Chains A and B, each alone.
Chain A
Amino acid sequence: MKALKLSQSPDNAIGSLLKYLFEQNKISAAFVLCKNNSRDYFYGLITDKNLLEKITPTTPIMPSSAGKMLSKLTMLEPLTSPIAVVLRPCEMRAFYELIKLEQARPDNILFISFTCKGVISIKESKDGFEEKIEAYQKNPATELTLPGLRQCCQICENFVPENADIILPLIEKNDLNNTTFLIKTEKAEDFVQGFEAETVEEELNDTEISKIKEKRARKKAEVFANITPDKLGMKGLIDIFGRCLNCHACGRACPICYCNLCYFDSADSEVGPKAYEAETETKGAYRLPANTIFYHIGRMIHISLSCIGCGMCTDVCPVSIPVGTIFTRVAESAQEVFKYIPGRNIEEKIPILTFKINEFEEIGEE
């Protein structure tokens, strides 16, 4: 694969590339993680190349899912002029799922992504955050015990952005002074034509990647061993979700949960006398806030096939419920049934939106 090599840090190299694309009028805007004040991180759509100094795309923080933010920009109509987007692999997969759900459009977007080491929880964005970032950048990706790393990132095996146009191999190199852009698609080649950099031939380092995958798979097995069906059950679920406030922040932050008029926020979910009397008749008491378990299982039913395991839900939970871990577990088993990997292929339909005539034929016949 053709690759461009620069002796700059990843952030600066991405900045140089975006600057070049701006100067050549190849893009009208860049959608990148930015930093304003000391700990003010956010996704920004930049149109003025002088503001590129604000970008910090490889800082390990996910203030919101870029996939969801990007869908906000493209939901009503496709982009009219090309933009470059720098995002993490899971965010890109989320964006692909949103395209399938007709909540976003892929036109006129140049995807730049990198092999991802994971992000630090938003909750850590307080005193000591800078040291954590430093420790993160120094440590190789095989290190899973980095302070503050999201649990969902520690068990993520899909850290290679298969569908991006330009990939930066960061995870297997951990080199802060040199950056390589792997030019994966023809579209990307058109964009980078004329960009001044050393041209080399390079591939992703598969041995190193599979090593990291293996390590994370082991960690995943370890984590999932605590949430097996016999340890859950309704009792286990109440233990885990019992402290839920019903704030629905997990759904708000989830890139896949896109409904503006969520069923669980609707009047149908209000609990007037009709709702509680039916239950108090047999039970003698009623729990408030109501429907918390209902909300979580309901959300699993809605999104588990598309869940890309980003861990936003865990990150935003005010009472520290490991929402993402449970969801990833459920998602994995649901996706396994339909042999579906979310975000892998833009042409592939979400299993619940399609069917095969000859499948599951034993169901309903007995």
Chain B
Amino acid sequence: MEQTFNPRIIGFLCNWCSYAGADLAGVSRLQMPPSIIPIRVMCSSRVDPLFILTALLRGSDAVLVAGCHPGDCHYQYGNYHTRRRIVLFNKIFETLGLETDRVRLAWVSASEGGRYRDVVTQFTEHIKEKGPNPLKKEIFL
């Protein structure tokens, strides 16, 4: 029997916006795929690119980084730094010929439960189409 592929996506959610947004999606009973493994961080800029790299090399199918919309950061400018880091990370991955669309940055505010559901659903669909992370099978990495 062929098992359906359910992606495991590591989600770094900022404490002030996206985590609350995800919470709202939950209490509003919005339906979405159970693919995200949430990790709460105080700010999206707490996410060191090495966290993302670790997740991908150790076989998570994708990484979602979510934070407050630009201008709404609880710490004023944290998310602008996140944005640059993700750009840099993707550029390096692109230059090395690795897949860049397994990493996604999304702005989700505390009131956007619906947007959180949309982001998760869409991202999960995309990863489902792509298939599992090839590095998961790479034994001698």
Contact = CB atoms under 8 A, between A and B. Distances in A.
Contact of A305 (B71, B88, B136): B88
Interface string B90-111: 0110111110000001110000
B135 interface: yes
Contact of A297 (B53, B77, B107): B53
B78 to A, nearest CB: 10
A284 interface: yes
A294 B57 contact: yes
Given A333-B91, A360-B84, A287 B97 contact: no
A352 B84 contact: yes
Interface string A265-301: 0000000000000110011111100000110011011
Nearest to A275: B58
Contacts of B134: 234
B70 A294 contact: no
A230 B97 contact: yes
Contacts of A298: 50, 53
Nearest to A300: B92
A287 B95 contact: no
Contacts of A282: 59, 136
A201 interface: no
B94 A229 contact: yes
B75 to A, nearest CB: 13
A329 interface: yes
A330 B77 contact: no
B89 A357 contact: no
B18 to A, nearest CB: 11
A365 interface: yes
A196 to B, nearest CB: 52
Contact of B140 (A285, A337, A357, A359): A285
A232 interface: yes
A325 interface: no
B81 interface: yes
Contact of B84 (A229, A283, A285, A351): A351
Contacts of A284: 139
Contacts of A283: 59, 136-139
B54 A294 contact: yes
Q: Which of A231, A305, A352 has the most CB of B within 10 A?
A: A352
Interface string A325-354: 000011001100110000000000001100
A279 B84 CA distance: 31
25 contacts: A229-B95, A233-B96, A233-B97, A234-B98, A237-B96, A285-B140, A287-B141, A294-B54, A297-B92, A304-B88, A304-B92, A333-B95, A334-B95, A337-B87, A337-B88, A338-B84, A351-B84, A351-B88, A355-B84, A359-B83, A361-B70, A363-B86, A364-B67, A364-B105, A364-B106
What are the nearest 8 A-B pairs in CB distance? A229-B97, A355-B80, A232-B97, A233-B97, A364-B107, A364-B105, A333-B95, A287-B140
A231 B135 CA distance: 17
A15 B112 CA distance: 69
Contacts of A231: 97
A357 B96 contact: no
Contacts of A318: none
Contacts of B138: 234, 238, 283
A205 B121 CA distance: 61
Contact of A330 (B85, B95, B105, B140): B95
A334 B80 contact: no
Interface in B28-42: none
Nearest to B44: A364
A230 B70 CA distance: 34
Nearest to B57: A294
B131 interface: no
A278 B54 CA distance: 13
A65 B98 CA distance: 31
A305 B95 CA distance: 14
B83 A229 contact: no
A263 interface: yes
A360 B140 contact: no
Interface in B45-84: 49-50, 53-54, 57-59, 67, 70-71, 77, 80-81, 83-84
